[in-house]
Every structure is written in C-alpha cells, then in structure tokens.
Structure 1
Amino acid sequence: MGEKERKMNKNKTMYLIRHCEATGQNEDAELTINGRKQAVKLADFLEEKNIQYILSSTYLRAYKSIQPLAERLQLPIHKDERLIERKLSDKNLDEWLLLLEKSFTNLDIVYEGGESSRQAMERGVTVIKECMYRKETTFAIVTHGNLLSLIWKYFDQTVCFKEWRELSNPDVLQVHFNQEKITVNRIWRNNM
C-alpha cells in the first residue's frame, strides 16, 4: 500500500444535494419563497447527520440552499466551481430534453458549446475523490440536477435519464464509502 492510499480515509459519508427550488437557471438565480422554506427543511433533515464539511456550487441557488444548515452547524461553505451545473450547449435548443436523454446513453456526445456527460461527471467526481483524502468523514455537497445524476451514474451505471427526471428540488443522495464497497441511497424522496 502506497503513501497516498494510507492517507486516504475510506470510511466516509457524503450527502449529495440538489439545490432547492429557484427562480431560474442563471448563475445568480435566487431561491423562490418555497425554495427558502425547503432550505430550512433541508437543514432540519441534515442537522443530525454529523456533517463536518460543506461544499457548494458557486451558483447562488446552491449556496442559499445549504446556508441555513451551515449557520446552524457554524461551518463555512466552501464554494467550488467544479460543482456548477453541466452545460448541455450554449445554444437555445428546442429539443434539449431529447438531447439530454441521449447524453445519458452516450456519455461522449458533445453539443455545440457544451460539455459531454463524461466531462461533467469527471469534474464532479474529482471533488468527491478529493474529499476522500480529507480528515473529515461526513460531507454535504450541493450541486445541480444534471451533475448530481451524472455523479450518481458514476457510482451506479444503471442510473439514466429516468432517475434525473425523478429528482426533486431539493433532493439528497447518501453515498457511503467503506473499505469493501460504495452504497448510494436516495434518502430525500419521501421527506417532502
């Protein structure tokens, strides 16, 4: 076992969180009134999970979704650009939903001005892998629906477009790493 492997703590729990309801898709889109209420419910739900480190997309709606929890736990929110939403294209695409669906089966499709599912997945998973080397054992990581589903797909290849469509705002996946295996459970589904 090399030095790098010895430094990696393999017993970790990560709560991957999709942001609460927002007013739009822009980087600076605020949470709706309902989204602000959801952020408080999200804090209620996560408060007893022993979260020690919080990471968030730089987008305002992600940051604001986790802010009530961070304030309760008196933890800083570490912003990371790698957690921003996947950019399907820089064009307005009428058939964007169909194109998104195709990108779940062909991870290497790139639409004009966008990034492939594989590229987005790799940048999101890099954040997860870096957490494996931190001393903390429990993390809250706030991102966006498409990127969240692609990170989920990395750990469970059966995840597809259907799982993305079923995600709610907010949503929470619990990813648990131990020495033998990785388990992923969607734990928010029945909370609302």
Structure 2
Amino acid sequence: MKHIYIVRHCKAEGQAPDARLTAAGVEQAEKLAEFLSDKAIDLIISSPFARAYHTIKPLSDKIGVEIALDERLMERVLSDKNHPDWRDMLRRTYDDLDLCFEGGESGNTAMSRAIRVVEELRNSSCKNAVIVSHGNLISLILKHFDDRIGYKEWEALSNPDVYRLSIVENKPDIQRIWVD
C-alpha cells in the first residue's frame, strides 16, 4: 500500500515566498524529520517557498532523498489585495469553491493544481511520498478526498502538521498523524 504524507510547513517568519523558519520552526523541522524517518519515504516533493523547503530539508538529509520542488504546491493566493476581513473571505471560498477574489485563485483552481501532484504520485512507482505545502492548499487537497473538510479544519491545522493519505481499493483514507 502506498502512503502520501501531506505536510504543512513548520512555523515561519511570515507569508512571503522567501520567509524563513523561526527558531522554533527549525526545531520543529528536526522533530518532523525524526517523526517521518521510519516511514520508508522514497520521494519528497515540496512547494518552492523557503518555509516549505526548509521544513523538509532535515528529513531529506537524514534519509538521503532529494527534494523535488513543484510550483503546483505553492500557497493559494486568496486575493492580491490586503483585506482586513480575509478570514471571512476565506471561509466563503470553502462554501463556494468557484468564488474568486480580485487577483486570487478559486478553491477549485488551487485544488485542481494540487490534486494533479497527488494523482501523479498515486500513479508513480514510489512506495511512500511526502508532499510539503501550505495550510490553505493542504486543506483543499484533503477536501478533495473528504468534502466535509472546510474552513474549521483549515483553522485547526498546526505548524507543522502531517496527514497520511492512503488509497485502499480506490477509497481514500485520511488520517491526521502528527502529534506534538
């Protein structure tokens, strides 16, 4: 059985693509490497954002698996404008996956690009893979497999967080396995 470990990045200094991990985030990345090191990971794919890459780098170093960067795992842009009510805007996009704000990306569009990565992994020869991405996009990946997932589940994500996606007889099984 193939497992895909879906990892949310560790604590970071901000949201910019080049935002680094905080000191606590660096420690979390080391704990994450230890946590995942016995999972027989043979493929790692990460968002190109610095916080995602540096989250999984300790695991990559520990198990000797190179990190492939994939722009399809970049965080979803809700809007290209700053909005004080961005949380309410985000909440609305879980109810209407086609809702798209100015300069942003709809939930369906973001979900579609991320799910292509998951499907490629499912059809690949790898045994166990890690995907490292960002909270909103991860919640949309999970929503693809379980429509009950929405804003509340996004809000409950931790930094880092780990979900294991297994497909058994064409039925998805999603388990949150990170315990900090």
Please state which band the TM-score falls in when normalised by the shorter chain.
over 0.9
Alignment size in residue pairs? 180
Query: Which of 66, 89, 106 matches 1:99?
Result: 89
Matched to 1:50, the amino acid is: A
Q: 1:180 to 1:111 in 2, by over 3 A?
A: closer
Q: 2: distance between equivalents of 1:28 and 1:132? A: 30
Which residue number corresponds to residue 71 of structure 2? 81
Consecutive unaligned residues in structure 2, runs of 5 or more: none
Aligned residue for 1:126?
Answer: 116
Distance in 2 separating the partners of 1:169 and 1:159: 18
SS in 2 for 1:174: strand
Name the residue aligned to 1:43: 33
Amino-acid identity (%): 46
Say whether residues 1:34 and 2:17 are aligned partners. no
Cα shift readout 1:88-119 (whole Å, capped 9, x = no counterpart)? 00001111000000000100000000000000
Change (3 A) 1:180 1:118: closer
Q: Distance in 1 between the 2:75 and 2:173 partners?
A: 24
Match of 1:140, as an amino acid? Answer: V
Aligned to 1:68: 58
Specify the code of the residue in structure 2 equivalent to 1:112.
Answer: E
Where structure 1 has 5 or more consecutive residues not aligned to the other structure, the ranges are 1-10
Please state if 1:175 is matched with 2:165. Answer: yes
Q: Distance in 1 between matches of 2:148 and 2:170?
A: 20
- Asked if residue 56 in structure 1 is aligned to residue 24 in structure 2, the reply is no
Letter in 1 for 2:160: P
CA distance in 1, matches of 2:132, 2:143: 17
Residue in 2 that maps onto 1:7: none
Whichever residue aligns with residue 130 of structure 1, its letter is E
Q: Secondary structure at the match of 2:90?
A: helix
TM-score, reference length from structure 1: 0.92
The alpha-carbon deviation at position 180 of structure 1 amounts to: 4.2
Match among 140, 145, 150 for residue 160 of structure 1: 150
Max radius of gyration: which structure? 1
* Corresponding position of 1:8: none
Match of 2:3 in 1: 13
TM-score (normalised: structure 2):
0.98
Q: Secondary structure at the match of 2:113?
A: helix
Superposition deviation, residue 37 in structure 1: 0.1
